[in-house]
Amino acid sequence: MGNNSPIGVFDSGLGGLTVVKELIRQLPQEHIVYYGDTARVPYGTKSKESIIRFSHENTRILLKRNVKMVVVGCNTSSSYALVQLREHFHLPIVGVIDPGARKAAEVTRNRKVGVIATPATVNSRSYARAISRYDRSIQVSSQACPLFVPLVEEGWLRKPVTTAVAREYLKPLRKTGVDTLVLGCTHYPLLKSVLKDVMGAKVVLVDSATEVAAEVKRILRERHLLRTSGGRARRAFLISDRPQQFEKTAREFLGYNIRAVKI
């Protein structure tokens, strides 16, 4: 492991590509290895024990690629497995919960923050606790949205059924008067246009990807691990199933064609 080693990112499917996109924007010189566990998506309906086991297995897959850091680009894994991963593996590991919580606490005006996430993330109360650490006066309302991940994985980003599902899920949050909505799953930024339409233009959507990339940059700089050598940055995309579907949706989001390798 050294400066020229890649950053590793894993997620239950393709949602972590929102983090990859921001890493490429903020750290264009860095090599990146992405692993999407598309065979077992979604994680948000799995047990805590399964989530922890999957997260350990995903990290080991990335370590085989000699990564210098692991970004847990999955809110469910960050909720349940981050502490165990940091105790078990001896390299920098960054989750997505705390950066998003910090941003929500900064931008809310009326101290009412909504969180949408998978059932597992909502049940963990990880966002409510993290936001409270920054400002105890903030009222946090959480809503599980289990159908969002399969809709994104299917590529149904602008279908009428997606809007209908979003309206039903977000109805309770609209009634609470939240002015800030945390997208507590890295799949959800792909639904930003739908979520914005349903919640209204005045509600700020918090996508933790920007904050996560900034955190990665800070840690790499502090540890003198930023890549400084020349040559084109390499990006590898590994998945556990359905490469064609992954490539199709990834192309729409990243804006260019990729080749996904099934392992």
Can you give the pLDDT at residue 40? 95
Predicted local confidence at residue 252, as pLDDT: 77
17-75: pLDDT as tens digits: 999 999 999 999 999 999 999 999 999 889 999 999 999 999 999 999 999 999 999 99
User: What pLDDT score was predicted for residue 180?
Assistant: 98
User: Over 80: is that where the pLDDT of 1 sits?
Assistant: no
Reading phi first (left if > 0) and then psi (alpha if -120 to 50, else beta), residue 35 is in: beta
pLDDT in tens, 110-121: 999 999 999 999
Letter string b/e over residues 138-161, b meaning 16 or more CB atoms within 10 A of that residue's CB: bebbbbbbbebbebbbebebeeee
pLDDT of residue 248: 87
**210-244 confidence digits (pLDDT tens):** 889 999 999 999 999 999 877 899 999 999 998 98
pTM assigned to the model:
0.89
Active-site residues: which are they? 74, 185
